[in-house]
Amino acid sequence: MVELCRVDDRMLHGQVAVTWVNQVAPDAILIANDEAATNEMSKLAFKMAKPAGVKLAIKTVKDAAVLLNDPRTKKTRIFLIVRTVQDALELAKATGNQITTVNIGGVKKKEGSRQVAANVHMDDADIDALRELNSLVDKVEIQMVPSESKTDVKKII
């Protein structure tokens, strides 16, 4: 069961490993990103950042969808972390209604993007994917850390 899906271009780092894991209280963290799943250095860094007592899986987006659709994971509290809105959208489409809440965290500036919130930059393709994602899940919110107030994504799309 996906407790929370977080979009964060750094994926698993100190802020996520400490504050968000404490907030979500997952049994497992699932990092879904094609590049991370095939990069041994990234996998090692994520394994080192993983909090004790929490399982970690690093999968391609396609393999993450297979894992989330496996009936054996239904009783596992999963904190799903993706790098892009497009990854979140692909998983929301592939897993039915398993993803209900999406948290947008840090999304760095890239060519053609604009700042839509503090520490969140998106281009037109990201905004289009965000609109579609918002139509598939219950809530999409922007929030860097749990102690900050949430911003409903509808305010920026």
Q: Please report the pLDDT score of residue 157 as a whole number.
A: 82
Catalytic position from the list 3, 9, 10, 13:
13
pLDDT number for residue 147: 92
**What pLDDT was estimated at residue 18?**
85
Per-residue model confidence (pLDDT) at position 15: 79
Low-confidence ranges of the chain (pLDDT < 70): none
Q: What was the pLDDT predicted at 39? A: 96
pLDDT at residue 120, rounded to an integer? 94
Three-state SS annotation for the chain? CEEEEEECCCCCCHHHHHHHHHHHCCCEEEEECHHHHHCHHHHHHHHHHCCCCCEEEEECHHHHHHHHHCHHHCCCCEEEEECCHHHHHHHHHHCCCCCCEEEECCECCCCCCEEEECCEEECHHHHHHHHHHHHHCCEEEECCCCCCCCEEHHHCC
pLDDT for 94-110, tens place per residue? 999 999 999 999 899 99
pTM (2 decimals)? 0.94
Domains of the chain: 2-155 (3.40.35.10)
pLDDT in tens, 8-19: 999 988 778 889
User: Is 121 in the active site?
Assistant: no
